[in-house]
Structure 1
Amino acid sequence: MKKLTVGSMKGNTIRDLITFPSLKNKPSIKDMNIKRIMKIEQNQSSYQLEVKKDQTILDAALEQGVPLDYKCQKGTCGRCKVKIVNGSALLQPANHLEKTKLQHLLQQEFRLACQTKAK
């Protein structure tokens, strides 16, 4: 009687028996569900909140019960202006509306909560 080994079995090689994880389907660091915790200030009050990827600061604040002052939610009134104390690296670049409304205040870490989204 002939003994069969893994290498002698028809159609089966070591490569067939071992599964290699696909590197193509691994999420990048940008896509991973990491916590984006930031600290903001508005009207002499400080707040800490977690913002999900592509979520605006205003949506995150409302979801978490943070009482931010806001009105139009379109980026035109400027009422939702907040200062980013911690976490500005977690945010997408300012859009056209923010650049138009805030101008030089962007350099001082001010953003519009209704327009600013997390990376």
Structure 2
Amino acid sequence: MPIVTFHKNGQTYRDEVQPKTNLVVRAGIKAYPYPHLKYECGMGKCSKCATRVIAGAEHLPPPNWKEKKQLGERLEQGWRLTCQLWIEHDIELLQE
């Protein structure tokens, strides 16, 4: 099962998740530790859930049109919309 390492506000949260997990969905149901994830719409419209992928980006699908529209040049710096990602491999994320 994938391990998610999530950095926010100087703290690190680590949890094992089921394959094909969406972290915004887990945050919405208050599944620890992802209530700390900043998000709003969950549909790729607001970009509040933008996170920088520190490790594991090679396992993610290419950015979709919503991510391209919302993140623009930040995509090149490793940013993704967490609401658009379904985790299937270990990943490390940073949200500022």
TM interval, shorter chain, is 0.5 to 0.7
Q: Aligned residue pairs: how many? A: 85
Report the RMSD for the aligned CA atoms in angstroms.
2.3
**3-state SS of the aligned residue for 1:114?**
helix
In structure 2, the CA distance between the partners of 1:74 and 1:45, relative to structure 1 (3 Å rule), is farther
- 2:15–2:33 contact (8 Å) kept in structure 1: no
What TM-score do the two structures reach when normalised by structure 1? 0.57
| Residue 108 (str. 1) matches residue 74 (str. 2) | no
CA deviations over 1:52-86 (Å, ceiling 9, x no partner) = 33222323454233211111111111111111222
Instruction: Report which of the two has the higher share of strand.
Output: 2
User: Structure 1: where are the runs of 5+ without partners?
Assistant: 1-34
User: Structure 2: where are the runs of 5+ without partners?
Assistant: 89-96
Letter of the structure 2 residue corresponding to residue 40 of structure 1: F
**Partners of 1:38 and 1:47 in 2: CA distance:** 8
Greater RCO between the two (CA within 8 Å, min separation 6)? 2
CA deviations over 1:27-65 (Å, ceiling 9, x no partner) = xxxxxxxx2223334455543333433222323454233
Letter of the structure 2 residue corresponding to residue 47 of structure 1: Y
Letter of the structure 2 residue corresponding to residue 114 of structure 1: C
CA deviations over 1:87-108 (Å, ceiling 9, x no partner) = 2233232221111111121122
Alignment identity in percent?
29
Q: Does 62-71 or 101-110 show the bigger shift?
A: 62-71
Q: Among residues 63, 66, 70, which one is paired with 2:31 in the alignment? A: 63
